[in-house]
Amino acid sequence: MSSGPIAAPTLAAPDPTPPRRRLGRWWLLPLTAGALVLGTTVALATNGHLPGGPAPTATDATGGNAGLGPAAPGTRPTPSGNEGFGAGPASGSPSPSVSGGATSGAFPGGRNTLPGASIYLKSGESFAAGLARSDRSYGPLRMVRVFYPGLPPSWSGSRADVANRTVVVSFKAPPGEVAAGKHDSRLAAWFRSVPRDLDVYWSYFHEPEDDVERGSYTAAQYRAAWKRLAGLADRAGNARLRSTLILMCWTLNPNSRRTFEDYWPGGDAIDVLGWDCYNSGGKYDRYTDPAQVFTPMINKSKALGKPWGLAETGSVRIAGDSSGTGRAAWIRSMSRYLDGQRPLWVAYYDYEVAGGDFRLTDAPSREAWRAWCAAS
């Protein structure tokens, strides 16, 4: 994978004993107070792997564990149900629904969770056109999941900019290079360019687990890169930038033989936990109870005192469910369950990939997701 353009000279090395990152986030306190101890519940059918093939790989020839001293971040309030859209709609702004539904007003009942999706593009379709199509289908979306395979492009005109609402945006670069400061100048400029009237949940190298297992880089390099990036983001002084670690739900399953702490750079570096959780019961021609799918990652998030969201979720249609009514019922069940759990956002993985077709192409499934996007 390309690591992006050559970066400008790096920032000066930090003081070897930088001060602790000042959290100052009153919006985390209710969750911290209600933290639960992680139990022994195991979702045997939970699998957070990206449904497609292996992601592009970034490798490191050399390591690096330099840290960047933090600057004090501002207060980061939790978005409410009537937030998510920017003040100045651009070409990719929410489109009116073709058949009515949600508007940009508050959700009935005051639900805080922002519903959204990733944007699957048809052949030759621009991101703005794909986003408008998704808005028409779902009513419109209040958040959008954006993926960058390398370093993030300039904000102006990028997919995150076109979305013009709350985004969960991820990017990649070799962790050894990031930790050593090779991309400091470019990334610091990107963090400074992020608008201050939008909630931007930024994530570095989402789903790193398979890459670590392949030996593309080490867990220590990954954690060090995160710590440096958190310092760069804090120095931008943007209270609405939120560092978001995105892992697979599968990682919490003992059968994965993984350890969460390998990927955890510490609570000072991470504001929010994002999870990729799927109904992998599709492998066995069943729709798994949402509580079984999601409970482990909810417990883990609460145990760490961190707010959380679903960066990817979805289900293929299982064998025998040609009409999609079974998947629609699963989506409604998932929606009811998540309503009681209060995630920050939930992004449906609206893609067709090598691992299956998760797109909501059948009317029952599409209407089930639309209903949740449009109502409390």
3-state secondary structure the chain: CCCCCCCCCCCCCCCCCCCCCCCCCHHHHHHHHCCCCCCCCCCCCEECCCCCCCCCCCCCCCCCCCCCCCCCCCCCCCCCCCCCECCCCCCCCCCCCECECCCCCCCCCCCCCEEEEECCCCCCCCHHHHHHHHHHHHCCCCEEEEECCCCCCCCCCCHHHHHCEEEEEEECCCHHHHHCCCCHHHHHHHHHHCCCCCCEEEEECCCCHHHHHHCCCCHHHHHHHHHHHHHHHHHCCCCCEEEEEEEEHHHHCHHHCCCHHHCCCCCCCCCEEEEEEEEHHHHHCCCCCHHHHHHHHHHHHHHCCCCEEEEEEECCCCCCCCCCHHHHHHHHHHHHHHHCCCCCEEEECCCEECCEECCCCCHHHHHHHHHHHHCC
Q: For this structure, is 207 an active site residue?
A: yes
3-state secondary structure 111-147: CCCEEEEECCCCCCCCHHHHHHHHHHHHCCCCEEEEE
CA distances from 103 to 81, 84, 85, 277, 343 (A): 12, 12, 11, 28, 21
- Per annotation, catalytic residue among 83, 209, 312, 367: 312
Tokens of 11: 């920032």
- Per annotation, catalytic residue among 177, 207, 209, 367: 207
Q: For this structure, is 83 an active site residue?
A: no
Catalytic residues: 207, 312
